[in-house]
Structure 1
Amino acid sequence: MRVHLGSDHAGLELKDHLLTWLVDEGHEVVDHGPFVYDALDDYPVFCLRAAEAVAAEWAEGGDGLGVVIGGSGNGEQIAANKVAGVRAALVWSEETARLAREHNDANVISVGGRMHPVENMTRFVGTFLATGFTGEERHVRRIGMLADYETHGDLPPLPESALRGPDAADA
């Protein structure tokens, strides 16, 4: 599988570790930088490129995935989610990595290089890459709502219960 990596200075050490580990695991890795430590670099420069590459692959029917890395992972997730076609999830455990794929069909994850030991982060990434989307109707429906909003700005319709208001008695 092709895996796109992007980080900032706070995620550089973890990115470099993951690059080697992913190659050893048989993945094709595309490193979108940074390539040297610069305490003043900006995560959008690298994370947007990684996310754009994932989105382009998916638009062509591919299945490449992405990992963006920073100190906390928060800004990197926000950056990745600005790219149309990307569903980036902030991951902090094996369970959140698994659910990101199973329920959200996430194609990018964001991890905080300062939040956990390298061994844990490696397991989180491994879980993400090894897990597939369940394809359950409820998850497909929810992802469809997000895609419609992303593409057309259409809000999903309110459920009947929301139209009745909080004081309406259930009959």
Structure 2
Amino acid sequence: MKIAIGNDHAGTEYKKAVIKHLEAKGYQITNYGTDSMESVDYPEFVHPVADDVENKNVDFGIIICGSGNGANMTANKHQGVRSALCWSKEITALARLHNDANVLSIPARYTSIQQAIQMVDTFLETAFEGGRHQNRVDKIPVSK
């Protein structure tokens, strides 16, 4: 499975831990994030992840910033991207089960690295339920 990951300065340590965890499981990772703790602008690191998801170059995206909000808003500007801001395993599971989320947005300042890794595992291991949820996802407009 191919995963694109992007982060700003608040998510650098999280990204490193997530990549190490995923590579140990055999996932193929494309790293668009900064490796610095110096302040950067998150859109520069989120747009490439969302582009990869939008163009189906990867199966999923993971984005990490301080609150998760800015990264999430940026990713959701892309066609076909359904980015979900998650802060627990339960919210993460519902984002996949009910919303067919294809990008996970993690708020580094409000979760621990251990929680982030648990959310990533939940995100990648949970399948979309379809059914009545598919009808709802189909009603999310996509610009053409």
Which range, TM-score by smaller chain?
over 0.9
**Aligned positions, number:** 144
RMSD: 1.3
Structure 2 counterparts to residues 102-121 of structure 1, below 5 A: 102-121=97-116
For 2:72, the aligned partner's letter is Q
Larger radius of gyration: 1
- The two structures have a TM-score, normalised by structure 1, of 0.80
SS class of match (2:3)? strand
After TM superposition, which residue ranges in structure 1, 4 or more long, deviate above 6 angstroms?
none
Structure 2 counterparts to residues 113-152 of structure 1, below 5 A: 113-136=108-131, 138-146=132-140, 149-151=141-143
**Using the alignment, how far apart are the partners of 2:36 and 2:81 within structure 1?**
26
**Using the alignment, how far apart are the partners of 2:97 and 2:66 within structure 1?**
26
For 1:124, the aligned partner's letter is M
**Using the alignment, how far apart are the partners of 1:72 and 1:46 within structure 2?**
15
Report the CA distance between 1:16 and its aligned residue.
1.0
For 2:12, the aligned partner's letter is L
- The residue number in structure 2 matching 1:4 is 4
Match for 1:78 among 70, 73, 78?
A: 73
Report the CA distance between 1:91 and its aligned residue.
0.6
- The residue number in structure 1 matching 2:55 is 56
SS class of match (1:83)? coil
Residues 126/19 of structure 1: CA separation in 2 closer, same or farther (3 Å cut) = same
The answer for unaligned runs of 5 or more in structure 1 is 153-171
The answer for unaligned runs of 5 or more in structure 2 is none
Q: After superposition, give the CA deviation of every residue in 1:104-147 in whole Å (9 maximum; x if it has no partner).
A: 000001001111111111101110000011111x211111111x
Aligned-residue sequence identity (percent) comes to 39
- The two structures have a TM-score, normalised by structure 2, of 0.95
Structure 2 counterparts to residues 21-32 of structure 1, below 5 A: 21-32=21-32
Structure 2 counterparts to residues 81-100 of structure 1, below 5 A: 81-100=76-95
